Amino acid sequence: MKASKLTKTLTALIEQKVPAFLWGAPGIGKSSIVKQIAQSNEIDFIDLRLALMDPTDLKGIPFYDKESHTALWAPPAFLPKSGEGILFLDELNTAAPSVQASAYQLILDRRVGEYELPDGWAIVAAGNRESDRGVTYRMPSPLANRFVHFEMEVNVDDWKFWAYKKEIDERVISYISYKTEHLFTFDAKSEAKSFATPRSWEYVDSILKSNMSQDLLLDSISGAVGREVAVGFLSFAKVMSRLPDIKNILASGDGEYSDEVDVLYALSTGLVSALLKENSDENLDNLLRYTLGLKSEFAVMCVQDLQRNGVKMEHSDVFKEWVQKFAFLLA
């Protein structure tokens, strides 16, 4: 299931306090999507890595109660005491079987030892698949049956929507639009330590925004996404110098056109990024007017990316002209 559908599904399950489990390859944003749901709903978020815990860390430490002459369990301080939120059990299937067993009662009965999960809290867990060559333990059937399971997939359109919101470097967004297969290059059979994932492209964005000298970029980006992808990306990044003046296009609606596919991918992303930063009716009209002369698939790409990012254009007379020209591609 792609991220946009998964977000809606998880939000509904979280409201009903139904435990959910996200399966997927490393680096595709499983934890990020759950955290974003918490932020969007303005509720708390607690991320627990059970792989780093012992069974007593979750259940608590036993102590002797003098009044009742019984042994009680002191609940751990990191578990929520009140309010609303999401308790996220990340990498659950990398935890030792004894720790997973301690999670049974918390997940199904919403309590463990003397501790009871507040009514306003939902449980979501995540883990890598056994086929991903990570350190995992097969999840026991009784524990697996306590979740509604989802397989998260990598989707370029969803990633681009996220990347625009996060203001990821335009060169990265343009390159992934051009080379969609390089968004995720993980191969469980490969021994390579570096490979491209949504997470590692976020590292590339940080590298590009650092003060690193140009002669160090190739090795640094290779360390994030792999050598072959890094060479392809840096070669593509040079295309940016061949783009028409995007500021002039937004200001006047006029500009040069190109027939080079790599330039058109970079230009489309640059136009969308520029409008999202300076959104006005005048800039929108000028952008739409310019795209009337673009190759049809890139004109549609621009408009669809803007609409996914919440830009309203139905009120624009230029958009009505645009729809008449490209209606055959929108059917």
Per-residue confidence (pLDDT) for residue 61, from 0 to 100 = 67
Per-residue confidence (pLDDT) for residue 111, from 0 to 100 = 84
Counting residues of the chain whose pLDDT is more than 90, the rounded percentage is 69
Last residue of a domain, one of 151, 184, 218: 151
The position carrying tokens 């958009």 is: 319
Residues 187, 99: one domain? no
Last residue of a domain, one of 107, 128, 151: 151
Residues 14, 127: one domain? yes
Residues 181, 232: one domain? yes
Range of the domain at 223: 156-330
Residues 163, 143: one domain? no
Residues 11, 106: one domain? yes
Cβ pair 76, 87 in contact under 8 A: no
Residues 308, 195: one domain? yes
Residues 133, 236: one domain? no
Per-residue confidence (pLDDT) for residue 191, from 0 to 100 = 84
Residues 189, 231: one domain? yes
* 3-state SS class at 62: strand
| Statement: residue 331 has pLDDT above 70 | no
How many domains, the chain?
2
160-202: per-residue pLDDT in tens? 999 999 999 999 999 999 999 999 998 878 888 899 999 999 9
Residues 189, 285: one domain? yes
| Statement: residue 6 has pLDDT above 90 | yes
Which segment of 154-163, 217-226, 320-329 scores lowest on mean pLDDT? 320-329
22-34: per-residue pLDDT in tens? 999 889 999 999 9
- Please list the alpha-helical segments (H only) found in 179-295: 198-208, 214-225, 227-237, 246-252, 261-277, 281-291
| Statement: residue 243 has pLDDT above 70 | yes
Residues 182, 196: one domain? yes
pLDDT confidence band for 37 (50 / 70 / 90): very high
Pairing of strands 61-65, 70-74: antiparallel
Supply the Cα-derived Rg of the chain in whole angstroms: 24
Per-residue confidence (pLDDT) for residue 135, from 0 to 100 = 63
Summary mean pLDDT of the chain:
90
CA–CA gap between residue 57 and residue 45 (Å, rounded): 19
Residues 147, 216: one domain? no
DSSP β-bridge partners for residue 151:
23
Residues 211, 308: one domain? yes
Cβ pair 308, 161 in contact under 8 A: yes
Cβ pair 1, 151 in contact under 8 A: yes
Last residue of a domain, one of 151, 167, 186: 151
Per-residue confidence (pLDDT) for residue 133, from 0 to 100 = 63
